[in-house]
Structure 1
Amino acid sequence: MSDRILVPYDGSPPAKKALEYAFEKFTDPDVTALYVVPVPDGYREAFVETDDRVPIADEEGGRTILEEAADIATERGRELTTELDTGEPNHVIVERAENEEYDTIVIGSHGRAGVSRLLLGSVAENVVRRATVPVVVVR
C-alpha cells in the first residue's frame, strides 16, 4: 500500500480516528501527524520580525496536541513523526503532501466542536478538492 502517510492532526475525535485508521489500514507506513497553527492570509505581512508572526501560545498548544498523537502511536507500538507548521490549514496540508511526496492524506471529517468544527470541516473538503494525492476522509 502507501509508504508515506500525512495525517493532519488537531486533537479532535475525528483526527484521532484518522490517525488510528492510518495505523490500522496501511501496512508498515511512514506516518506524519501535522498540526497547522491557523494563520490567515496577509497576517504574516503585518509583522517585520518573524518571531512576532505566530502567537507562542498557539505553537505551544500545537506541540501539546502533537504529543497526544505521539502517545497514540506509542500505545499501538508504532512510530510517528510529528510536525508543526503555520498558515491556512488546507493550503499547508496540500502543499506538504505534494512537495514532500506523501502518497496519501488521511484526514478526519471534521475538526473541533462548535464554530471551529464548521471551519475545519471545510478544511477536509478543500483538501479533498485540491490535493494531487489520494485523500482518505475518516468519520
Structure 2
Amino acid sequence: MFKRIMVAVDTSKSANSALAKAIKLAKEQKAKLCIIHVIDYSPLMMGGEGINIEALQKSTKDLGQIILNRAVARAKRKGMKAETRLIDKSGESMSHIAAMIIKTAKKWRASLLVVSSHAYKGVSRIMLGSVAEEIIRNTNIPVLLIQPGKSAPTK
C-alpha cells in the first residue's frame, strides 16, 4: 500500500513514537523510509548582546544531524535502511516549517507522511501554532498523525 514512508523527527516523545510507527510500517510494507528533521532557529532569534548567533546556529544544525543519526541507527537496529534529510529553515515561520516538510515529501515522492503532534492547547497553541495541523491542511499526501502518549492502531 505505502511504498515510500517519510517521518519527521525532533527530540519529543511523540516524535519518538512517530519514528517507531514509521519504522514498523516501512518494514511491514517493505517500503522505503526517509527520516527528516527541520532545524528550527526560532529560539535563537531572541539574541542578545554578546551572544554568538553563528556558533548557536552551528550547534543547532549539529544537533539536528545527531537527531537524524540516532533515528537512522534505531531504524537499522530494526532491520531497516533509511535515507535522511536535514532541512534548514533559516528563520522561517512555523507555517513555513510545515510547507518545507510538505515540499520535501513531495520531492521525495512520499506515499505516507508520519508526523507527531505536541498537543499544545490554549495560548501555547495560538503562540506556537501547529506544524502537524498545517501539514494536514495543506497536503494531499496521506498523513499519519501520532499524538503524545498515544500510538497509532496496528492492523
TM range (shorter): 0.7 to 0.9
Is residue 3–residue 31 contact of structure 2 (8 Å, CA) maintained in 1?
Answer: yes
Is residue 11–residue 68 contact of structure 1 (8 Å, CA) maintained in 2?
Answer: no
Is residue 41–residue 57 contact of structure 2 (8 Å, CA) maintained in 1?
Answer: no
**Counterpart for residue 37 of structure 1:** 39
Larger Cα-atom Rg: 2
**Counterpart for residue 86 of structure 2:** 84
Deviations 1:18-49 (A, max 9, x none): 11111223411111110111256xx9xxxxxx
Taking structure 2 as the reference length, the TM-score comes to 0.70
**Counterpart for residue 126 of structure 1:** 134
- The residue type paired with residue 62 of structure 2 is E
Instruction: Give the root-mean-square deviation of aligned CA atoms.
Output: 2.6
Whole-angstrom distance in 1 between the partners of 2:79 and 2:137: 33
Whole-angstrom distance in 1 between the partners of 2:41 and 2:2: 30
- Structure 1 stretches of 5 or more lacking a match? 44-51
Alignment map for 1:94-133 (pairs within 5 Å): 94-110=102-118, 119=128, 122-133=130-141
- The residue type paired with residue 131 of structure 1 is T
How many percent of aligned residue pairs carry the same amino acid?
Answer: 27
Deviations 1:49-70 (A, max 9, x none): xxx7x92111101001111101
**Counterpart for residue 3 of structure 1:** 3
- The residue type paired with residue 140 of structure 2 is T
Is residue 33–residue 83 contact of structure 1 (8 Å, CA) maintained in 2?
Answer: yes
Is residue 41–residue 60 contact of structure 2 (8 Å, CA) maintained in 1?
Answer: no
Whole-angstrom distance in 2 between the partners of 1:14 and 1:63: 19
Q: How far 1:99 sits from its partner (Å)?
A: 2.5
Whole-angstrom distance in 2 between the partners of 1:5 and 1:101: 9
- Structure 2 stretches of 5 or more lacking a match? 46-53, 90-95, 148-155
> Which structure 1 residue ranges, 4+ long, deviate > 4 Å from structure 2?
none
Q: Please give the secondary structure, in 2, of the residue aligned with 1:82.
A: strand
1:58 aligns with 2:60: yes
Q: How far 1:100 sits from its partner (Å)?
A: 2.5
